[in-house]
Structure 1
Amino acid sequence: MLRLRGAGRRFGRRVVFSDLDLDVGAGGRVLLAGPNGAGKTTLLRCLSGTLTLSTGQATVAGHPVGSPDARRATGVCLAPEQGLYEQLTAHQNITLVARLRLPRRAVPAAVTGIEEELGIARYASLPVARCSAGMRARISIARSLVAAPALLLLDEPGRSLDEEGRRLLWQSIDRRTELTCVVASHHADDGRHCRQRLTLVAAG
């Protein structure tokens, strides 16, 4: 499902990471570990297609990262409590993504289902600006899952989630047995859910 070969990224002369190789099958769970500044978020951005690799290659389901097919297969939550439309409700934020990625008739059921699954339903009519950081994180995760992606990219999902929010997140991921997940996290509980580990080292 996800393959990296000789993947590297630099900014000018500064090498963030280099020569990364990784193979993850469908349903795989990968923990990105390493200190702050080691390039975990940068790697996730490269996998999502918002940054390009400087060297090497990466594919999602056989498609080059950043290509339309790879983007359609990828759910992204890189800033769990940010990137939402503040004046729209939680429901409207999730629906917006669902309409972009799903057939119109499938949207209502998909949105309602993910709202219930992540404990958002009773807050769904609130403007995002009035939601707590933890609820905003749940809404962002719901947007990344609503269109049933094949690959899910998460950056520090537990930063704003309480224990119940983390439980609901991993319950949702584990329910999707074919979903491949790459998560950058310092939280021990996230690591326990992952069967593979890729440790990045901060450039000297």
Structure 2
Amino acid sequence: MLHLRGASRWFGRHRVFSGLDLDVPAGTRLLVAGGNGSGKTTLLRCLAGSLSLTSGIALVDGHSAGSPAARRALGVCLNPEQGLYGRLSGHENLLLAARLRLPDATARRAVSQVEDEFGIGPFAKVPTQRCSAGMRARLTIARSLLADPTALVLDEPSRSLDEQARSLLWDALDRRPQLACVMVSHESEDRYRCERTLLFPVRR
């Protein structure tokens, strides 16, 4: 599960959020909604451990966000079209990521599974710098699921996906009903498929 208590994040004198308490149990999908600049992505980065809280605590499966144990438990997709090695193929990117967290034989099976789930086969051997934004989005979302995480954070995963790819994304999530998932999205289907919503106001 994902857990925040008294969570606050400031940038200088600018308050992004403060005193936030949040529990996302296993099997729960939480949509984070709000206007541009309201702090949605900042919240995801704090859960992922790539940005520290100003005060309060953030836990992933009982481990401090950003710790090695928390990183093992959490799948992260904060830039659905970025974060890939452009000269490597999609398959090579996935295999490299999998080998950082899994034994080689297990890594290969995990890559094969997510390639099938997201229909990556037709462009698996293409350098990612030559892939479309939608293809790169499929790859980065698939990468977040490689190590069978118990929790997942996704930042606008559907933004560059066509209808077929959005369907593949939700099929993949449905096959993992125990995931605790926090998603930022403006897509109506994503709102419909999430059981809970956290609304972030714009702070000026």
Q: TM-score range by the shorter chain?
A: over 0.9
Q: Which residue of 1 aligns with 2:145?
A: 145
Q: Is the aligned partner of 1:172 residue 2:172?
A: yes
**Deviation >4 Å, runs of 4+:** none
Q: Which residue of 2 aligns with 1:41?
A: 41
Tell me by how many angstroms 1:193 deviates: 1.0
Using structure 2 for the length normalisation, give the TM-score.
0.98
The number of residue pairs the alignment matches comes to: 204
The DSSP-based 3-state class of the residue aligned with 1:10 is: strand
Tell me by how many angstroms 1:121 deviates: 1.2
Q: Which runs of 5+ in 2 are unaligned?
A: none
Q: Which residue of 2 aligns with 1:19?
A: 19
CA distance in 2, matches of 1:45, 1:2: 13
Please say if residues 149 and 179 of structure 1, whose CA atoms lie closer than 8 Å, have aligned partners that are also in contact. yes
Please say if residues 41 and 155 of structure 1, whose CA atoms lie closer than 8 Å, have aligned partners that are also in contact. yes
Q: Which amino acid counterpart does residue 172 of structure 1 have in structure 2?
A: A
1:106-185 to 2 correspondences below 5 Å: 106-185=106-185
Please say if residues 112 and 121 of structure 1, whose CA atoms lie closer than 8 Å, have aligned partners that are also in contact. no
CA distance in 1, matches of 2:21, 2:29: 16
1:44-59 to 2 correspondences below 5 Å: 44-59=44-59
Note the alpha carbon deviations across 1:126-167, whole angstroms, 9 max, x for none.
110111110100000111111111111100111111111111
Q: Percent identity?
A: 58
RMSD: 0.8
Q: Is the aligned partner of 1:203 residue 2:197?
A: no
Using structure 1 for the length normalisation, give the TM-score.
0.98
CA distance in 2, matches of 1:153, 1:20: 17
CA distance in 1, matches of 2:76, 2:24: 17
Q: Which amino acid counterpart does residue 197 of structure 2 have in structure 1?
A: R
The DSSP-based 3-state class of the residue aligned with 2:100 is: helix
Q: Which residue of 2 aligns with 1:190?
A: 190
Please say if residues 24 and 181 of structure 2, whose CA atoms lie closer than 8 Å, have aligned partners that are also in contact. no
Q: Which residue of 1 aligns with 2:80?
A: 80
Please say if residues 74 and 149 of structure 2, whose CA atoms lie closer than 8 Å, have aligned partners that are also in contact. yes
Q: Which residue of 1 aligns with 2:69?
A: 69
Q: Which residue of 1 aligns with 2:89?
A: 89
